[in-house]
A and B are shown apart, each in its own frame.
Chain A
Amino acid sequence: MKCDICNKEEATVHLTEVVNDKVTKLHLCERCAKEKSQQMQAHFGLTDLISGLMDIDPQINEEIQTAGPQLKCGFCGMTYYDFQKNGKLGCGKCYEAFSDELSTLLRKIHGSDRHLGKMPFFDAAESNNRETLNRLRQEMDDLIKSEKFEKAAIIRDRIREMESGETDKGQNGS
């Protein structure tokens, strides 16, 4: 099989792309595949994908960006613009510093911006149980409203478990 791009060399690399649920196959020789992969990295890295979800062009002049309202993490010094450029956060505290912006982004990626899984040991054992219980009750109400009963039942069970004081063994929140 000849390479789909240069049509000269033997195709040794076979790429499958899924774009908007449409599947396309490309058969490339090693040289064209390398070029294509560099292009793809340059034009469609994960950073760009995330920036795309944030509706921000990473190529936009830094001056324009920095002229806008500046969000900055007080712990690690990362600005929201840094995050838009890198696609990665600087530390755990960034999640609080950029919480509104991140919520929108996380809903686009995961369809949700609220954790429903396991909690670490310290969290369940410490006195913020009440806060967690409130959060869980709120989530259960939301799920019942949207008729997601199976998930609501999982949360109901966890609330019961916490209320019955079994939380200290309950690392496994699922």
Chain B
Amino acid sequence: MDLNGLINQKSEWLKGEGPRSDIVMSTRVRIARNLDGHLFFNWANSEQRSDVLEILMKALGKNNFFKPAAFIRLKDISELDKEFLVERHLMSVEHTRDTAYRGLVIGDKEIVSAMLNEEDHMRLQVIHSGFNITEAWRIVDEIDTSWGGLLTFAYSNRFGYLTACPTNPGTGLRASVMMHLPALEMTGQIENVYEAISKLGLTIRGFYGEGTEAAGNFFQISNQVALGHSEADVLDNIERVINKVIVKEEETRGHLLKNKRSETQDGIFRSYGTLKSARIITSRETIKLLSSVRLGVDLGLITDVSTSSLNEILLLMQPAHLQKINARELNPHERDIKRADMVRVRLGNG
């Protein structure tokens, strides 16, 4: 599997399918693991970092969950490729820096992937489309169990799996659910969601995870607490909260359709019109309009485009993806033009 092949491949999490895919775009579950007897990345020297990378590359190479897979050493790929991988949610922004001994392994359909030598030796993640925490955790758990005696992780009975940052030990587990909440945002209720969630041991992040802002009404909700609760408890808590947010969003959508039907329809069809007609468009505007059209599809107002196609545009309209498609570097203005072209073609109005 090679990196350039990914551009023509549809990531599983973008399929627009799975439970509640009208409101939940994707579910991601990750665990942090470190090798016993090895220094954590930030405190290790070059030789120690290299040892860890080699051990893990070898172990993942033998693992059936990573057949087929792309084994990438980040020092070998271009800046553009790194950005491309961040845009596909396969690695963090942090992982694009200090790349001498960092690795990334991407499994089939991009469902399973592992960052090697990020903050922890291994960050294993599974992404699924729709609201699918149980299934994502099942796969993570199976892979985590599959090492048997091959890898020994840093673990203590008292503190659980040991991690570089004190925010992660214990389960090392983080579940994140990417939600599309246009109605709650439009009616100003999203701030109540923020407040409620921060009181429940959960947190809201932007589209690209930690340290990023919410864009186009996409919000990532994840657990903050990793220690003192079993995995089942952590996942159960987030699942319950997400279900409540889904109901709220649904009710608000219903309210908009009932009481502000014309305004809602007008906004949606204007957005659709702009996307189908624009000649120059920024990513910020695109994501905003896509959000509106997506709502139109969910409400049954727009029927000639699928959620899956909208998800694909959302992925492809990002800077690194546009440059990969066009096979050359593009300045921001050129990108805005190429983006408008790509969106029109994909919406059948080229």
Contact = CB atoms under 8 A, between A and B. Distances in A.
Interface of A: 12-16, 18, 21, 23, 46, 50, 76, 78, 86-92, 95-96, 99, 102, 105-106, 109-123, 128, 131-132, 135, 151, 154, 171-174
B40 A88 contact: yes
B227 interface: yes
B339 to A, nearest CB: 16
29 contacts: A15-B213, A16-B194, A16-B213, A18-B198, A23-B191, A23-B195, A46-B165, A89-B40, A89-B166, A90-B43, A92-B40, A92-B156, A95-B169, A106-B166, A110-B226, A111-B225, A114-B159, A115-B158, A115-B171, A116-B228, A116-B233, A117-B230, A117-B231, A118-B230, A123-B155, A132-B157, A151-B230, A172-B231, A174-B233
Contacts of B259: none
A18 B149 contact: no
A102 B213 contact: no
Secondary structure at the B interface, as helix, strand, loop or mixed, is loop
Interface centre among A18, A50, A86, A95 (most CB of B within 10 A): A95
Given A109-B166, A116-B233, A121-B145, A76 B227 contact: no
Interface stretch (B31-39, B126-134, B273-281, B296-304): B31-39
A90 B40 contact: yes
Contacts of B34: 92
A113 B228 contact: yes
B43 A91 contact: yes
A32 B147 CA distance: 48
B42 A114 contact: no
Interface string B197-222: 01101000000000001100000000
Nearest to A83: B166
Nearest to A92: B154
B167 interface: yes
B310 to A, nearest CB: 22
B139 interface: no
Interface of B: 34, 36-40, 42-43, 119, 141, 144-145, 147-149, 152-167, 169-171, 173, 191, 194-195, 198-199, 201, 213-214, 225-234, 284
A15 B141 CA distance: 35
A121 B147 CA distance: 9
Given A116-B229, A120-B153, A87 B165 contact: yes
A14 B39 CA distance: 39
A156 to B, nearest CB: 13
A15 B144 CA distance: 37
Nearest to A37: B211
A87 B119 CA distance: 12
A115 B194 contact: no
Given A50-B166, A115-B158, A123-B155, A174 B232 contact: yes
Contact of B227 (A114, A128, A172): A114
B173 A117 contact: yes
Given A76-B43, A92-B156, A117-B229, 9 more contacts: A16-B214, A18-B195, A23-B195, A88-B42, A88-B43, A95-B159, A110-B170, A117-B170, A118-B230
A135 B159 CA distance: 12
B166 A113 contact: no
Contacts of A115: 156-161, 169-171, 227-228
A21 B43 contact: no
Nearest to B230: A174
Contact of B228 (A46, A110, A173): A110
A154 B230 CA distance: 9
A116 B229 CA distance: 5
Interface centre among B169, B171, B194 (most CB of A within 10 A): B169
Contact of B149 (A76, A106, A121, A131): A121
B230 A173 contact: yes
A114 B158 contact: yes
Nearest to B199: A21
A110 B234 CA distance: 12
A27 B192 CA distance: 20
Contacts of A117: 160, 170-171, 173, 229-231, 234
Contact of A121 (B119, B148, B159, B225): B148
Contacts of A110: 170, 225-228
Name the 6 nearest CB pairs between A and B, nearest first.
Answer: A112-B228, A115-B160, A92-B154, A90-B43, A174-B230, A174-B232
Given A16-B194, A122-B149, A128 B233 contact: no
Contacts of B198: 18, 21
A118 B213 contact: no
Contacts of B194: 16, 18, 23
B213 A13 contact: yes
A104 B34 CA distance: 23
